[in-house]
């Protein structure tokens, strides 16, 4: 299991938010491993992964590119970053005032290998 310093993981959470707010998809993707897996209940609505999962960086690029096109005012306001030895949770509020927790597991190289967007049930 990778062991990362809490400060490194907290910094990754900050960088992740900054990359999204810059709408810099390639910068976001640079934080992910080529074989990364992303799960979200929003994925099927955009026509990707009926099971809510996107696998691999190319599929992530296609999914997020479509999502960014639909959300021109995307903005994440960081609330907190929680860390464990091999993962972090980025707790943020989006441009619509919705609070989201993004679970991000990292590998030994510090790249994200698994992400899960967790939304409140409304």
The angle formed by the CA atoms of residues 42, 105 and 31, to the nearest 5 degrees, is 80
Domains along the chain? 6-119 (3.10.450.50)
Q: What is the pTM of this model?
A: 0.93
2-6, 17-21, 50-54, 89-93, range with the lowest pLDDT: 2-6
- The residues pairing with 104 across neighbouring beta strands, listed in sequence order, are 88, 115
Q: What is the pLDDT of residues 42-83, one digit of tens each?
A: 899 889 989 999 999 999 999 999 999 999 999 999 999 999
Separation between Cα atoms, residue 70 and residue 78, nearest integer Å: 21
Measure the CA–CA gap between 59 and 48, rounded to whole angstroms: 8
- Alpha-carbon dihedral sign for residues 65, 69, 73, 79: negative
Residue closest to 87 by CA, chosen among 109, 114, 117: 114
pLDDT band at 2 (very low <50, low <70, confident <90, very high): low
């Amino acid at each position: 299991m990778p062991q990362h310093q809490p400060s490194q993981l907290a910094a990754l959470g900050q960088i992740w938010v900054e990359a999204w707010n810059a709408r810099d998809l390639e910068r976001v993707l640079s934080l992910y491993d080529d074989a990364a897996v992303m799960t979200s209940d929003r994925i099927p609505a955009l026509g990707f992964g009926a099971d809510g999962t996107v696998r691999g960086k190319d599929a992530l690029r296609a999914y997020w590119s479509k999502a960014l096109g639909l959300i021109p005012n995307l903005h994440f306001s960081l609330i907190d970053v929680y860390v464990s030895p091999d993962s972090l949770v980025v707790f943020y509020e989006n441009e619509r005032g919705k609070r989201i927790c993004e679970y991000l597991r990292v590998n030994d190289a510090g790249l994200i290998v698994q992400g899960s967007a967790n939304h409140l049930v409304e």
